[in-house]
Amino acid sequence: GAVVSQHPSWVICKSGTSVKIECRSLDFQATTMFWYRQFPKQSLMLMATSNEGSKATYEQGVEKDKFLINHASLTLSTLTVTSAHPEDSSFYICSAFPIQGRNTEAFFGQGTRLTVV
């Protein structure tokens, strides 16, 4: 089946530094990828929609200058958390649907657990 690879699976960084998270679709192409955030004991919340070749669409309340998204190809989207602070510590996960056929299952990356110290 289709696979989405997310890297790294966990990262610890110092406050004020930036962290890049990659999301790759390994065996399909995706014009759109989604980035979600999940705080402990809460549901997944959509942060932004990553669009290949164009600007990402951010959900209300998500700072686009803090969470930089780049979707440079049909198989790769990156999320960069800039000037990270402890409150950014969370579980970040991406998902994608194959281009062919809108009514397909969603495929998720493994997730990245970010801890900012």
Partner 1 sequence: KNEVEQSPQNLTAQEGEFITINCSYSVGISALHWLQQHPGGGIVSLFMLSSGKKKHGRLIATINIQEKHSSLHITASHPRDSAVYICAVRWGGSEKLVFGKGTKLTVNP
Positions touching partner 1 (CB under 8 A) are 32, 34, 38, 42-46, 49, 91, 93, 95, 97, 102-108, 110-111, 113
Residue listed under structure tokens 């990356």: 109
Residue listed under structure tokens 């649907």: 97
CA dist 76 and 88 (Å) reads 23
Choose between 59 and 63: whose C-beta lies nearer to partner 1.
Answer: 59
- Minimum Å gap between C-beta 96 and partner 1 is 9
- Minimum Å gap between C-beta 16 and partner 1 is 25
Choose between 28 and 107: whose C-beta lies nearer to partner 1.
Answer: 107
The secondary structure of residue 11, as a DSSP letter, is E
Choose between 51 and 82: whose C-beta lies nearer to partner 1.
Answer: 51
Beta strands in 8-86 (DSSP E): 10-13, 19-25, 32-38, 45-51, 57-58, 67-73, 76-81
- Minimum Å gap between C-beta 23 and partner 1 is 13
User: 33 is written with which tokens?
Assistant: 């990828």
- Minimum Å gap between C-beta 1 and partner 1 is 9
